[in-house]
């Protein structure tokens, strides 16, 4: 994937950490990725860019944004293979996309919510449960806008409580 910046394109391959990302063809790590995580500033910029593109009336910009989100969600099944730090970045970014209502209503939103719900069904303490909780943490202010998600969360809570009771008995 490539992102154009003032200093040249930033390219990164899926699954590679920020240290392996290249800017302008050099072997330098991205400036905010020294500890293997994106800084709050970079995360804010990602969300800001997504908001700007999603509110654009230019059909090409909207299509590019839709393609970007679809590509990320298409990789949802591979999320369990991601290193935890990458999964945290993805969860926080997707959660913020939901929080700021960047995702258009429709199939993309449904796919994202389905991805989060599937992750919630993972065993407690797993990477995927952590992913789902981190994404949902960003969504707290808007959770009431998603009644089917609330239903699913309640169902999962009851199911996990029931499992805990059976294990204790």
What's the CA gap between 149 and 114, in Å, rounded? 9
> What band does 119 get if pLDDT is binned at 50, 70 and 90?
very high
38-168: CATH homologous superfamily?
CCR4-NOT transcription complex subunit 1 TTP binding domain (1.25.40.840)
What's the CA gap between 145 and 71, in Å, rounded? 25
Tell which residue, 116, 109, 127, 128, has the closest CA to residue 153: 116
pLDDT on residue 161: 82
With contact defined as beta carbons under 8 Å apart, do 70 and 108 qualify? yes
Model pTM greater than 0.75? no
Residue 35 pLDDT > 60: no
Residue 28 pLDDT > 60: no
What's the CA gap between 72 and 95, in Å, rounded? 13
pLDDT on residue 149: 87
pLDDT on residue 129: 93
Torsion (CA) 134, 102, 10, 133 in degrees, nearest 10: 10
Span 55-85, pLDDT tens digits: 555 566 556 666 767 777 888 999 999 999 8
In three-state secondary structure terms, 30 is: coil
Torsion (CA) 72, 62, 109, 137 in degrees, nearest 10: 70
What's the CA gap between 126 and 46, in Å, rounded? 26
Please state, for a pLDDT cut of 90, what percent of the chain lies above it.
17
Give the range among 11-20, 32-41, 105-114 with minimum mean pLDDT. Answer: 11-20
Residue 8 pLDDT > 50: no
With contact defined as beta carbons under 8 Å apart, do 140 and 122 qualify? no
Span 128-159, pLDDT tens digits: 999 999 999 988 889 999 888 899 889 888 88
Domain coordinates of the chain in residue numbers? 1-36, 38-168
Burial bucket for residue 128 (CB in 10 Å: 0-12, 13-18, 19+): buried
H or E element at residue 3: strand 2-5
Strand partners, 3: 10
Question: What are the tokens at 111?
Answer: 């796919």
Per-residue pLDDT, averaged over 114-141, amounts to: 91
Q: How far is CA 79 from CA 14, 43, 70, in A?
A: 11, 19, 14
pLDDT on residue 39: 65
């Amino acid at each position: 994937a490539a992102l154009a910046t003032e200093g040249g394109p930033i390219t990164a391959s899926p699954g590679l950490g920020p240290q392996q990302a290249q800017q302008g063809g050099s072997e330098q790590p991205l400036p905010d990725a020294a500890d293997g995580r994106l800084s709050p500033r970079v995360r804010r910029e990602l969300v800001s860019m997504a908001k700007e593109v999603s509110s654009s009336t230019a059909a090409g910009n909207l299509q590019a944004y839709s393609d970007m989100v679809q590509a990320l969600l298409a990789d949802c099944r591979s999320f369990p293979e991601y290193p935890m730090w990458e999964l945290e970045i993805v969860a926080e970014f997707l959660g913020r996309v939901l929080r700021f209502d960047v995702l258009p209503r429709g199939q993309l939103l449904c796919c994202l919510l389905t991805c989060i719900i599937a992750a919630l069904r993972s065993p407690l303490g797993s990477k995927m449960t952590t992913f789902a909780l981190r994404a949902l943490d960003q969504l707290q202010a808007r959770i009431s806008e998603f009644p089917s998600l609330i239903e699913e969360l309640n169902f999962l809570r009851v199911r996990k409580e029931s499992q805990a009771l059976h294990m204790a008995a």
